[in-house]
Amino acid sequence: MLIACFDLEGVFLPEIWIEVSKITGIEGLSLTTRDIKDYDELMTHRLKLLKMHNIGIAEIHEVISKIEPVEGAREFLDWARRTCQVVILSDTFYEFADPLMEKLGRPTLFCHNLQIESGLITGYKIRIKDPKRKAVQHFHELNFSTFATGDSYNDVGMIQEANHACFFRAPENVLRDYPEYKGVNEFSELKERLSFLCK
């Protein structure tokens, strides 16, 4: 039995922080794990900017309400869930992603939580250190075979741990740093890979 593990943003959804950056005009919020490998460093940077500009969860929810899945994402997920087990492993937060899960057909999502006080985001709580890699490790302990894909540095752990893996729409710097993993750009290519693995 195969479990397919997918990143969320950059695969099925636009990068939420980039969308927040576009609407607020705060350029520094456009940085993602494609740019900064250390997740704690990245989140500290983001929270500092939110506090500086007095942006709370309500403003971010307003941005999130306008986000739509990338073209073909819902259709691919519907097909994948009929073909194998599907889990989305993300470093986003339930407080961000939950409103968007309905648009994707409510797939299983493992991610983190924000700490919110008086409408302001004051911190975050990660579920476990290196959660994507550890999730794949535990799937193996349950005797599942795994496939993993994502677009960024924070996906490398699960990609390295999986039985089968590739990058999806990853930028050149990520592909250059990990040339041993092929990069694909279309859902049709992922569908072809999963079809082969699930024969």
Residues recognised as catalytic: 7, 9
37 HSE (CA, 13 A, CB side): 6
Contact 6, 98 (CB under 8 A): no
Whether 122 and 54 have beta carbons less than 8 Å apart is answered as no
Strand order in the sheet with 109-117: 120-125, 109-117, 85-93, 2-6, 145-150, 164-168, 183-184
Distances (CA, A) of 12 to 38, 46, 100: 23, 22, 10
**One-character DSSP codes across 128-151:** SSSHHHHHHHHHHHTT-EEEEEES
Q: Which helix (H) or strand (E) holds 197?
A: helix 187-197
DSSP 10: T
